[in-house]
Amino acid sequence: MKLKDKVAIITGGAMGNGLGIAKVFLKYGAKVSIFDYSNKLEETVNNLREEGYEVDGYLVDIRDKEKIKQSIEKVIEKYNKIDILINNAGVAKLTPFEETTDEIRDFHFDINIKGTWNMSQEVLPHMKDNGSIVNLSSVTGPMVADTGEVAYATTKAAILGFTKGLAAEVVKKGIRVNAILPGYIMTPMVEGIANDSDSNNPENVVKGIANGIPMGRLGTIEELGELAAFLASDEASYITGQGFVIDGGSTLPETMSVGV
């Protein structure tokens, strides 16, 4: 198993992409600690333990560096090391730019950027040679954007820059840093976007999204988890400072025309 006995921290692992990553990591033999402040954390951890996996949950708001530090110390007490950090936790609230309050802007910046910064800064002193950090960016920001996404797109573009800058700093320590740029993955965040739309039928919104993707569907959280597992594993030992798109080809078309 490619992650056997690797100790991994996954932020935002109680649901969505983070849960997909956690499931795949556990399948490959990792010992997983989920950092999340969702009320689903306990349920998720219990469900995974019932499946026979070694997993712990820590109620952590990644805006709180002291709480991060305390929780990391507990992971170190148990395992004496941290091999992998997955900076997955993130938020998205769509609002037109001119209607975006400072509070909404800071909500995105504090969790998506500062939270990733906080986690990385606190984990790195405990990460030794052959460590791996994987940050969740997005195709939104670095590659594409829609209306209402200025705050979200800004933060996800920043994550890609953060990835490259940090990779250059820690490469001599034997630590790799990469990013994943998902397109549409079927997560609670996407369901929320569909529910918040003007449509009276959120299911049709999801179908409409799928129709715009060359593969004709949204990705699964497990598919994203497989990419994260590869980047975190020794199989990716010569890869650092890179961003990997997983989007079913949604950023591929040159135009949105649908045939001749």
Query: Is the four-CA dihedral 243, 68, 101, 195 of positive or negative sign?
Result: positive
35 has which bridge partners?
11, 58
Q: Exposure of 226 by Cβ count < 10 A (0-12 exposed, 13-18 middle, 19+ buried)?
A: middle
The set of catalytic residues is 152
DSSP string, 220-260: PHHHHHHHHHHHHSGGGTT--S-EEEESTTTT--SS-----
Strand segments, DSSP code E, in the chain are: 7-11, 31-36, 55-59, 84-87, 131-136, 175-182, 243-246
Q: Exposure of 154 by Cβ count < 10 A (0-12 exposed, 13-18 middle, 19+ buried)?
A: middle
d(CA 222, CA 24): 7
